[in-house]
Amino acid sequence: MMIQTSEGKVSISNQVITKITEKALRDIEGIRVVTGGLNDILSQLSSSRQSKGITIHRLDAVTNVELRIIVDYGVKIHQVCRELQQRVKNLIENITGSSIGEIFVKVEGIALD
């Protein structure tokens, strides 16, 4: 993520965006982040960066975030996903001072325990 200021440019790494996203995920009850698997291997071969079910996609000047989650049984999936999208977007924009593109959420399972 590149931010233009009157004094010059500021570059924010994918790792910073990932850490901010991880913080947002910890603040929401009823979800778990998917880790490991084929997507982790594939992300290492692509231009996107992934960590703990979080993939950062940069296309031109737009940064998008993809989240792979598991929801706890009994939660209202649409509400949790909407809250997650809003929380991630707001936190990234507030901390970095730059707008974010889209937040994609993939619900990959339900935890029954």
Q: What is the CATH number of the domain that holds 81?
A: 3.30.70.1350
**How many Å apart are CA 25 and CA 21, to the nearest integer?**
6
pLDDT, one tens digit per residue, over 35-50 is 655 555 454 444 444 4
Q: Number of folded domains in the chain?
A: 1
Report how far residue 35's alpha carbon sits from residue 107's, in angstroms, rounded to the nearest whole number.
13
Which of 29, 103, 21 minimizes the C-alpha distance to 73? 29
Whole-angstrom distance, CA of residue 66 vs CA of residue 56:
6
- Mind listing the pLDDT tens digit for each residue in 4-30? 778 998 888 999 999 999 999 988 999
CA–CA separation, 68 vs 46, rounded Å? 17
**Sign of the dihedral defined by the CA atoms of residues 82, 87, 88, 89, in that order:** positive
SS3 state of residue 43: helix
Look up the pTM and report it. 0.79
Range of the domain at 76: 2-111
| Residues recorded for the chain | 113
